[in-house]
Structures are given as structure tokens and as C-alpha cells.
Amino acid sequence: MKILIINGPNLNLLGTREPDIYGSRTFESYLIELREMLAGDEVEYYQSNHEGDIIDALHNADCDGIILNAGAYTHTSLAIADAIKAIQIPVIEVHISNVASRETIRHTSLIAPVCQGTIAGFGLNSYFLAAQAIIMG
């Protein structure tokens, strides 16, 4: 299986940004571990703070499944939702924190209705759970 992880805005700051919410580990260090846990599967990674770049990554994806943490764009971007709807690759929405236990604005996802499913609240392990969902179909 070939899996593409797309991380949105501010996720490049994992490890230093609000460690009480997101933990103190960088995504790059977790990615090494994730690739080891998914040995035999190919895991590509892309991160951007720019909405259009995320849309381009979705449009240009060549993989079996996409794990998308759209960050704050989850709650604001109809354009990303439309991009997900326009492609044939299954997309799983992921969040590190339990967004339902946070600010009210984070309770609504504009991308959830066009994603295969949503995994949230399991820290960085949310990505592993999403990968397992893609692999198991």
C-alpha cells in the first residue's frame, strides 16, 4: 500500500507548539517510527501552511489512501472539502487532539462529510490508526 500523509498549517511546529495539547514530539521523529510500524507499506509525507498547496497535493496524489490533518482548515475550508470530493482516493481525516473537547469552533469539520472517516484524540498514534484503516480497507 502507498499512503500519503498531508499535514496542514502549523503542524510543522509539532514538538514546540502547545505541547500540553500536541505533545513534545516532532512529526518527523514520529514519522520514522510510523514507517517502521508500517514496514512493507510506503508512507509519503507532505506538509504545508498554504491552503492551495494542500489542494494541489490532494489533486496530484498517486496513492492508495490519504491521511489528512488539515489543521485549522478543517473548520474553514470548503475548497479542501471540494478537492477531497473531486478525487477518487479515500481520505481519512485525522486530528492529534480530541477536537470535540476543545473550543466550540473546532467542533465542526467541513471536511468530515467527504472523508471516509475521522480519527481524533489519540495523539500522534491517530496517524497509525488511520493507516491501519486504509490498509484494512
**What positions carry a catalytic annotation?**
22, 95
Task: Render the burial of 10-20: b for 16+ CB within 10 Å, e for the rest.
Answer: ebbebeeeeee
- The C-alpha cell of 96 is what? 492529534
Q: At 108, which amino acid appears?
A: T
- The C-alpha cell of 15 is what? 514538538
Start-to-end CA span in the chain (Å): 11
Angle at 129 between CA 135 and CA 36, to 5 degrees: 75
- The C-alpha cell of 106 is what? 473546532
Q: CB count, 10 Å around CB of 102?
A: 14
